[in-house]
Amino acid sequence: MISNKKTVVLAFVGCYLPGFRGGGPIRSIANMVERLGDEFDFRIVTMDRDLGDLHPYQSIKVDAWNQVAKAQVFYASPASLSLWNIIKLIRLTQHDVLYLNSFFNVVFTLKPLLARWLGLVPRAAIVLAPRGEFSQGAFKLKHWKKAPYSQLLRQVGMLKDVRWHASTNFESADIQRVVKVDSECINTVVNVASDLSIVQNLPISNFSKIVDVKIGAESDVLRVCFLSRIAPMKNIDYALKVLAQVKATVQFNIYGPKELPAYWAECELLIAKLPQNIHVTYNGSVENSQVRSIISSHDLFFVPSLGENFGHVFMESLSAGVPILVSDRTPWRDLQEQKLGWDIPLDQPDQFLLALEEAAGFDQVKRSEMRACCIAYAHHKAEDGEVLNMNRSLFLNAMNLHKLSIQS
């Protein structure tokens, strides 16, 4: 591959474009590439297929580099992902920063870390983004396996020179709690880096005349959307249990891949017991390009997640003018004060119930007001240039600190 003077970021991520079932990390990297691809040379190693698929993407070169937008992407077949092949790939790919996305991914994180620890690849600057995996809700899932794994990697020194990418102050605290690192190791100069979802290319034309936001026809039915992976972390079973107590008429539309069939079977049992005023429809997975338009046809977006480091889909909802109902385990806080929705502790299901009943009782004027507030907020965030500077500094700071550590 041809060398150039740009800073080269070699990123490992389990799923990437054109995939969409991997959720937020795909959008995090894609947004970063789109916004910073003219300044940095992004080279991304990923699977040759979407999450759960048995066959590779069409129209790509497998086990080879492909130009995808502003990045070069290596779509690796399952057979090519041995430790030795990953070592060869890292050795042959010029890079200044190694960027790992996920802490618990054995193939795309543990193997590169092991290769560095064994001294089998160049020891470039390294940044690791846990992507919410250290939140209390996420870490409790399979805690019996995650806790000793985290402790082992820390004790053997595999994480010694890692710089950590936290998306929020909440995640920064989670990283410090789980892997026992000092705050200086977490994007030291700018403290906490924010994902680039909030500066993605939002349709600015939708924001120019907020008073003209189109609202759905008056209806006695509250249209509620759940769009996410169907997995314990996203807590859809909790949403169904709350909906079972709602007296208003609700159309609950579910979108997303069935990540764990056994979990979805549990949800189906809950759906079967719902009262007649709660109507549930499962609509399958949707591509990223369809997310905003799908959400926009609803009155409320409801995902009571056990934890999020950012939550791209919540920003999608706000940009579509749809208020959100979430737990207090995401960065989206103080929503009621801003007329953007509700953030409620999961140990208060009665408050979720009240929020749903309140939303069902809104008249057209109130719905219009909240939609306008959501869109105005998204527009404001879309213009926040500081987020670009923070993400730019994420890699430059890691390189500078790596150089200092070598010199000392």
- Please state the three-class secondary structure of the chain as a single string: CCCCCCEEEEEECCCCCCCCCCCHHHHHHHHHHHHHCCCEEEEEEEECCCCCCCCCCCCCCCCCEEEECCEEEEEECHHHCCHHHHHHHHHHCCCCEEEEECCCCHHHHHHHHHHHHCCCCCCCEEEEECCCCCCHHHHHCCHHHHHHHHHHHHHCCCCCCCEECCCCHHHHHHHHHHHCCCHHHCCCCCCCCCCHHHHCCCCHHHCCCHHHCCCCCCCCEEEEEEECCECHHHCHHHHHHHHCCCCCEEEEEEECCECCHHHHHHHHHHHHCCCCCEEEEECCCCCHHHHHHHHHCCCEEEECCCCCCCCHHHHHHHHCCCCEEEECCCCCCCCCCCCCEEEECCCCHHHHHHHHHHHHCCCHHHHHHHHHHHHHHHHHHHCCCHHHHHHHHHHHHHHHHHHHHHHC
pLDDT at res. 204: 41
CATH of domain 204-382: 3.40.50.2000
Mean pLDDT of 364-371: 94
**For residue 252, is pLDDT > 50?**
yes
Q: At what angle do helices 386-407 and 24-36 cross, to 10 degrees?
A: 90
pLDDT at res. 300: 98
Q: How confident is the model at residue 338 (pLDDT cuts 50, 70, 90)?
A: very high
Give per-residue pLDDT as tens, 129-161: 998 888 888 888 889 999 999 999 999 999 988
**For residue 285, is pLDDT > 80?**
yes
**For residue 280, is pLDDT > 70?**
yes
The pTM of this model reads 0.74
The rounded distance, in Å, linking the Cα atoms of 205 and 208 is 5
Query: Where exactly are the structural domains of the chain?
Result: 7-198+384-407, 204-382
Mean pLDDT of 53-59: 92
Mean pLDDT of 73-92: 97
Give per-residue pLDDT as tens, 157-168: 999 889 999 887
Most confident range (mean pLDDT) of 209-223, 340-354, 374-388 is: 340-354
**For residue 216, is pLDDT > 70?**
no
Q: Give me the count of residues in the chain.
A: 408
Residue bearing the bigger pLDDT, 254 or 133: 254
Q: How confident is the model at residue 384 (pLDDT cuts 50, 70, 90)?
A: low
Nearest to 131 by CA among 63, 8, 263, 229: 229
Mean pLDDT of 188-203: 39
Give per-residue pLDDT as tens, 16-53: 999 888 877 888 888 889 888 999 999 999 999 998 88
The rounded distance, in Å, linking the Cα atoms of 271 and 257 is 17
Nearest to 14 by CA among 68, 61, 54, 50: 50
Instruction: Out of 3.40.50.2000, 3.30.360.10, 3.40.50.300, 3.60.110.10, select the CATH number for domain 7-198+384-407.
Output: 3.40.50.2000
pLDDT at res. 347: 96
Give per-residue pLDDT as tens, 225-249: 999 999 999 999 999 999 999 999 9
Identify the burial level of 403 via C-beta atoms within 10 angstroms of its C-beta, where 0-12 means exposed, 13-18 middle and 19 or more buried.
exposed
Nearest to 258 by CA among 295, 291, 288, 228: 228
Nearest to 281 by CA among 262, 266, 267: 267
Which of 166-180, 275-289, 343-357 shows the lowest mean pLDDT across its residues? 166-180
Q: How confident is the model at residue 365 (pLDDT cuts 50, 70, 90)?
A: very high
Could you tell me which residues are beta bridge partners of residue 341?
324
Q: How confident is the model at residue 219 (pLDDT cuts 50, 70, 90)?
A: low
Q: How confident is the model at residue 102 (pLDDT cuts 50, 70, 90)?
A: very high
**For residue 195, is pLDDT > 60?**
no
**Residue 18: is the preceding peptide bond cis (ω within 30°)?**
yes
Mean pLDDT of 244-264: 95
pLDDT at res. 101: 92
Decide if 7-198+384-407 and 204-382 have a common fold.
yes
